[in-house]
Structure formats: structure tokens, C-alpha cells
């Protein structure tokens, strides 16, 4: 993991599988080289890390100060040796990249966390962006902030009509438990009621590099 700043306004979440003949050790080594040789020189980078999911997939999670910085990093990576080596280890057909604008002013990335909860969804006809942000603020104030496990939380906009909810947690087990508690918490019901349940995709990932 590399962290060069604190405040971010965008996040990239790119999930993938490694090629079958590539070991996890080789993947981690490539990511560390990618971070030290390339990302450390990118002024707009806030934080980057590699996480792994229970499905055997991996994800690169990158925070940047703005969308222009994120796009510039992506463009410059195409001509960087360390970046290209990292990309060569991936099963290209499995790569799924999503950019999201963080719907929270002055979002601060934490210094320490070990897992990422990543959910994407669409809203039904009962919700809009403003009501989503309000529901998120209420959940943070009256539920998530009760736990020292919650290191950061935000809603993001992936594209028109598609949103994300992201939590950075201290441990994987506690983050899952808190997420499952949404169904029992009255303050979480406005959010759950405005989500199109058929569109919901939720996954949990733990930090490996």
C-alpha cells in the first residue's frame, strides 16, 4: 500500500484474476514495484492498495485527488515499465474497472485499515442522489460511528443511475458483521428502501499489499 496524501474526491476499483501460471507472490511483488517505481511519482495519487476477495479475485483500489489526476495516472501507466509488468500478470478478460466520484466533501482516507466493503447498486423510483447522501450521513452518525472498526465510509457515483457504497474497516469479520446489522437498524431502512435490490452487488476484500 502506498499513501501520499489524505483527501480524495474519486476512487478507482478494478477487480481481476491473475493468470493461472502467476503466483500470488509474483503478483504482490509486481504491485509493490508498480507503487514504488511509478505511483510514488504521481502527484495526484492519494492512496493505492491491493486487496483480495473470497472468490479468488483481486482488486486494485486507488484514491486520487480528482478525476483528472486519476485519468492522467491511467494514461501514463501505459508507457511505464513497472505498470506494464503488473498489467501483464492479469487475466485481461477478467478485468472490471469502475471509477466513482466520492459523494462526500473533503473525504479523508484513513492511515490504517485491513478490508474494503464494496457494494454497487441502482436506486428505485423512491430515491435520488440527495436522499442517498442524506441517508448515508444518518447511517454514519447513528450507526457506523458507534464502532471503532469503521475507519472510513462514503457513497460514490459510478455512472448515471449507478452508485457505490464503500467502507474501509479495521477487520474483515467485524466489517461484515456491521454490514449485516443494517437490516436490524432503523436508521438504515431509508437507504435499504431506496435501493433496487435486483441491482445490488456486494463484496468484501482484505488487504494484501
Same domain, 121 and 196: yes
Residue 184 has pLDDT above 90, yes or no: yes
Same domain, 96 and 184: no
Residue 56 has pLDDT above 90, yes or no: no
What is the average pLDDT score of the chain?
97
pLDDT tens for 147-168 read 999 999 999 999 999 999 999 9
Q: What is the CATH number of the domain that holds 14?
A: 3.30.70.100
Q: What's the confidence (pLDDT) of residue 42?
A: 96
Q: Which domain holds residue 39?
A: 2-102
Q: What's the confidence (pLDDT) of residue 110?
A: 97
pLDDT tens for 122-140 read 999 888 999 999 999 999 9
Same domain, 188 and 153: yes
DSSP string, 2-42: EE--SEESEEEEEEE-B-TT--HHHHHHHHHHHHHHTGGG-
Taking the alpha carbons of 112, 115, 117, 118 in that order, is the dihedral positive or negative? positive
The number of angstroms, rounded, from the C-alpha of 197 to the middle of its chain's C-alpha atoms is 20
Residue 43: which residues within 8 A CB-CB, separation 6 or more?
A: 69
What percent of the chain has a predicted confidence (pLDDT) above 70? 100
Check if the beta carbon of residue 121 is closer than 8 Å to that of residue 201.
Answer: yes
What percent of the chain has a predicted confidence (pLDDT) above 90? 97
Same domain, 20 and 40: yes
**Residue 168 placed within a domain:** yes
Number of domains in the chain: 2
pLDDT tens for 68-119 read 999 999 999 999 999 999 999 999 999 999 999 999 999 999 999 999 999 9
Same domain, 81 and 11: yes
pLDDT tens for 140-151 read 999 999 999 999
Average pLDDT over residues 51-64: 95
Same domain, 179 and 142: yes
Q: What's the confidence (pLDDT) of residue 163?
A: 98
Amino acid at each position: 500500500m502506498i499513501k501520499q496524501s489524505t483527501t480524495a474526491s474519486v476512487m478507482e476499483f478494478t477487480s481481476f484474476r491473475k493468470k493461472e501460471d502467476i503466483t500470488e507472490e509474483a503478483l504482490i511483488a509486481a504491485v509493490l514495484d508498480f507503487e514504488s517505481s511509478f505511483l510514488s511519482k504521481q502527484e495526484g495519487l492519494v492512496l493505492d492498495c491491493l486487496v483480495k476477495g473470497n472468490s479468488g479475485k483481486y482488486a486494485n483500489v486507488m484514491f486520487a485527488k480528482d478525476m483528472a489526476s486519476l485519468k492522467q495516472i491511467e494514461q501514463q501507466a501505459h508507457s511505464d515499465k513497472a505498470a506494464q509488468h503488473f498489467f501483464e500478470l492479469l487475466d485481461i478478460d477478467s478485468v472490471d474497472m469502475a471509477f466513482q466520484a466520492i459523494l462526500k466533501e473533503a473525504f479523508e482516507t484513513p492511515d490504517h485499515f485491513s478490508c474494503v466493503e464494496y457494494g454497487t447498486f441502482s436506486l428505485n423510483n423512491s430515491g435520488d442522489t440527495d436522499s442517498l447522501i442524506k441517508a448515508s450521513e444518518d447511517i454514519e452518525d447513528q450507526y457506523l460511528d458507534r464502532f471503532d472498526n469503521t475507519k472510513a465510509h462514503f457513497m460514490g457515483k459510478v455512472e448515471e443511475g449507478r452508485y457505490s457504497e464503500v467502507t474501509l474497516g479495521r477487520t474483515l469479520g467485524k466489517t461484515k458483521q456491521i454490514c449485516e446489522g443494517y437490516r436490524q437498524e432503523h436508521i438504515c431502512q431509508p437507504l435499504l428502501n431506496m435501493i433496487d435490490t435486483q441491482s445490488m452487488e456486494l463484496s468484501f476484500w482484505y488487504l494484501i499489499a
